[in-house]
Amino acid sequence: MMPGQPDNLLKNENCMALTNSEASDELCSDIKPFFCYSSITERKQIIRVKLQANSDVNDPSLKEAVLNKIWQKLSVYWNITVKWRGIRRIGV
């Protein structure tokens, strides 16, 4: 805080400004540079993929190809990261 701030000197300084990391109360009618902040929330989504392959599903090149295809499809809509959680064989 700047020394003596907030002081609401004019009884209508209901806005805040930062100058060199020091806060002060200001008139809301004053025109000043500003920025808006929005928190980005991160969430995890687990998807199940069923593969039918003639080769080993643990083959690193096959796993990479599958991840790349999923990323290509979903990254059109969202900023995503994809990774394998685990592989489970069914019906072997």
Secondary structure (DSSP) of 20-82 = TTEEEEE-TTS--------PPP------------SS-TT-HHHHHHHHHHHHHHHTTTS----
48 or 90, which is more confident: 48
Name the amino acid, one letter, at 88: R
Say whether pTM exceeds 0.85.
no
* pLDDT given at position 68: 92
Query: What residue ranges do the domains of the chain occupy?
Result: 1-37, 45-86
Stated as kind and residue range, the H or E segment containing 1 is none
For residue 86, pLDDT beyond 80: no
Fill in the amino acid letter for 11: K
pLDDT tens digits, residue range 55-73?
A: 887 888 888 998 999 999 8
Euclidean distance between CA atoms 42 and 76, whole angstroms: 17
